[in-house]
Amino acid sequence: MTGIVIAVDGPAGTGKSTVSREVARRLKLAYFDTGATYRVGTLWCLREGVDLSNQDDVAAMVATMNVELILNPDNPSILLEGEDVSRLIRSDTVALQVSKVATNLEARRILGDWQRAVIAGEQEGGYSEGRGVVAEGRDITTIIAPEADVRVLMTADEDVRVARRAGEGADAATVREAVLGRDRQDSTVVSFHTAADGVVTVDTTDLTIEQAVQAVMSLAKRDA
């Protein structure tokens, strides 16, 4: 996959998924939610009865799972063994367990290599006919694609982030644990609260989705 690479990192609830997907749609780029790779790995391990605390078994499972990515921003999806599990990987069950996979360093290495290959167009999932990709996650600006053309760290006030997720209809207590608990756990293996050198911070606390989209779009146009 040649063309522009836009990398967007940040904690949950900042709007990075919504903004990244919309930017990809408007610029006709592929959209890659790298967090979905950890979620589908978690779902696969749960389905296969793997103890998520057994790091070797988890790494072995994510290395061999059969997953297909659809990177169309109008309908991004992920297939596991041919089954569309795009909704299942967003369940509370997966959300509360995914950090056990995301903080497994060997699993993270395996999934990171896969993410790099997808961004580079070396594996299936292409959509944008060489125009490029918007990839979002926790460590895209620093570990996965540090040479991306545009690198953004999206932040927001903690209470605002929780309120946004709670507003999606989930139980408030579950949302708080899923959002803040995962942030605490994931921060043990990757930094996503402070922008690295060359990464632009976009604070969405007081921004509408459209304003956040325009902020990222302006950076992409500046790079063009």
Q: How many CB atoms lie within 10 A of CB 88?
A: 17
Q: Which residue has the tokens 């979620």?
A: 39
Cβ(110)–Cβ(62) under 8 Å? yes
For residue 26 the two structure tokens come to 């408007």
Q: Is 212 annotated as a binding residue?
A: no
Q: Is 10 annotated as a binding residue?
A: yes
Q: Is 35 annotated as a binding residue?
A: no
Quote the strand ranges of the chain, DSSP E.
Answer: 4-9, 30-33, 67-70, 77-80, 83-84, 132-137, 150-155, 200-203
Nearest 5°: phi and psi at 81?
Answer: 50, 35
Q: Is 42 annotated as a binding residue?
A: no
Q: Is 2 annotated as a binding residue?
A: no
Q: Is 18 annotated as a binding residue?
A: yes
Nearest 5°: phi and psi at 159?
Answer: -65, -35
Q: How many CA atoms lie within 13 A of 195 on its CB side?
A: 15
Q: Is 14 annotated as a binding residue?
A: yes
Q: How many CB atoms lie within 10 A of CB 43?
A: 22
Q: Which residues are annotated as a binding site for ATP?
A: 10-18
Q: Which residues are annotated as a binding site?
A: 10-18
